[in-house]
Structure 1
């Protein structure tokens, strides 16, 4: 039985804590994982969102853990020396240690990220790098697996990391079953860009053109086509489009086509070539190239992952 223990530092981020609880502590996983939560001071541990969680185990629970998960906490620069020492001991005896979101600040403070690549929520990546210069911070990925030390980006990327650990422990079929129960994507690779770095801004003056482009994405659209629909010169259109979306028109359109290809691979039995046509990539070769670049996978592998095949 694989023991997973989440360390709830005071003012723990409840969402971060709920992720390993749902993945490793769900009744469906009782034959694979034994999940518990510990804290420096057992009892009601405050969360960062105004309510408390009842924790019955102290730090001694980490002495038996096979995997330790550190959810985020506030303030992130005060993890507590007792917690840090318990993390060091767990890691030294061979436990796998992982963080969700800004929980990476706890691993870094314990010295467990020194010399390693790590990630955290994109908003706090610069601060992590400044506070811990020996950590090689990568703000552009969903999660990083350095063997016995793993870190995830913000919030829902913790789901991807925990599913990745399930996949490592029990294979793709089991991980896909857990993903379906969680109603999340079966597999987002760690190297995939954090979605939060592609800002979703309020609808602006070009929202109707964006909607039109989505309905017409199967066509070989160019910036000229989009600018003509908006009734603007190409340079003016491109500048305004970037101001509203944070992306160039064609980069944005490629992202929409990738999402449509994902939807078709998940929900239909269309061939890869047909998915490429319907999503605007034209050929299966082009679709494979873009999925490899955006998601780090192939159309066939993506379809198998989300369906648990």
Structure 2
């Protein structure tokens, strides 16, 4: 069965919001011949220029074939189609006939204006969060998520998160083995789960001198990651390492490791059918109680409560 994926763009759309998902599905079609047909849509058809000046050839909404999935790109020009009756009517109709409707980045505005997100969980780029919340209070916005699924409606954070969303859609269609091969071809992490934060502890720590060390630590969370181990990795004495690390990052090495662990543990809890005890072991907490205390410090809730919230959605 061939699934037709429609990509809706408009003048001044963000190029990667569209081309990231387009490339992801195009590569999936190589690994699963006949799985996908891609069509590029705009209100009037023809060449449509992105905010970078590069343009894509599209067909008009009036000529659009029946879709399996509609993906709406974001970008600086989003507010024009978000107030266009023709575009909004098309999106509403697509939601009635397509199996899925999705948005990337600020494409959320179009789904919101079409009324598709009322009472639903959704996300968008972090820079749009406050405006979305103000304009559309009926949306159950989850601003710190890579992507969110609520029934047939999917939404994702900015730009590269559209690739994560597309990999999730492909995994649901063709299986995780195909999605994994696509991720490998794209040379991206397979795959950031929807529950992962838009913000990384590695970025928040702002530790240029220790960037490589922290990146290594994130890949070795199951190890002890004591001050002594980290200092040895940094080729420094434990005392000097602890002093310089705290001066540069504003936190102790132990607190930095805890941030990395809670970030990884929350992503696993949201995306994997693992027991809390297994997540605690895999991320280096060792026991669930230690992880529970760290989650309360970081999120104000224990792991089980966050997992119930994610599953309820």
Q: 1:228 aligns with which of 227, 239, 242?
A: 239
Q: 1:180 aligns with which of 179, 184, 199?
A: 184
Instruction: Return the TM-score normalized by structure 2.
Output: 0.71
Q: Return the offset for 1:87.
A: 0.3
User: Does residue 53 of the first structure (1) align with residue 56 of the second (2)?
Assistant: yes
User: Does residue 76 of the first structure (1) align with residue 87 of the second (2)?
Assistant: no
**41-50 or 249-258, which deviates more:** 249-258
Q: 1:159 aligns with which of 160, 163, 183?
A: 163
Instruction: Tell me what 1:104 maps to.
Output: 108
Instruction: Tell me what 2:249 maps to.
Output: 241
Q: Is the 8 A contact 1:164 1:175 kept in 2?
A: yes
User: Does residue 18 of the first structure (1) align with residue 19 of the second (2)?
Assistant: yes
Assess, with a 3 A threshold, how the Cα gap between structure 1 residues 65 and 231 changes in structure 2: closer, same or farther.
Answer: closer
Q: Return the offset for 1:260.
A: 11
Q: Return the offset for 1:166.
A: 0.9
Q: Return the offset for 1:19.
A: 1.8
Assess, with a 3 A threshold, how the Cα gap between structure 1 residues 222 and 34 changes in structure 2: closer, same or farther.
Answer: same
How many residues align? The count is 263
Instruction: Tell me what 2:193 maps to.
Output: 189
Instruction: Tell me what 2:146 maps to.
Output: 142
Assess, with a 3 A threshold, how the Cα gap between structure 1 residues 146 and 213 changes in structure 2: closer, same or farther.
Answer: closer
Structure 1: gaps of 5 or more residues: 262-275, 295-309
Q: Is the 8 A contact 1:62 1:87 kept in 2?
A: no
Q: Return the offset for 1:106.
A: 1.2
Q: Return the offset for 1:137.
A: 0.8
- Partner-residue secondary structure (3-state), 1:64: coil
Instruction: Tell me what 2:38 maps to.
Output: 35
Q: Return the offset for 1:228.
A: 3.0
Q: 2:131 aligns with which of 108, 117, 127?
A: 127
1:140-170 residue CA offsets vs partner (Å, 9 max, x unmatched): 1111011210001111111111111111112
Assess, with a 3 A threshold, how the Cα gap between structure 1 residues 219 and 210 changes in structure 2: closer, same or farther.
Answer: farther
Partners in 2 of 1:51 and 1:187 — Cα distance?
A: 28
Assess, with a 3 A threshold, how the Cα gap between structure 1 residues 249 and 136 changes in structure 2: closer, same or farther.
Answer: farther
Assess, with a 3 A threshold, how the Cα gap between structure 1 residues 248 and 150 changes in structure 2: closer, same or farther.
Answer: farther
Write the mapping of 1:284-303 to structure 2, written as runs, cut at 5 A: none
Partners in 1 of 2:214 and 2:144 — Cα distance?
A: 30
Structure 2: gaps of 5 or more residues: 232-237, 266-279, 299-313
Partners in 1 of 2:241 and 2:201 — Cα distance?
A: 26
Instruction: Tell me what 2:275 maps to.
Output: none
Q: Is the 8 A contact 2:105 2:124 kept in 1?
A: yes
Partners in 2 of 1:213 and 1:35 — Cα distance?
A: 37
Q: Is the 8 A contact 2:170 2:179 kept in 1?
A: yes
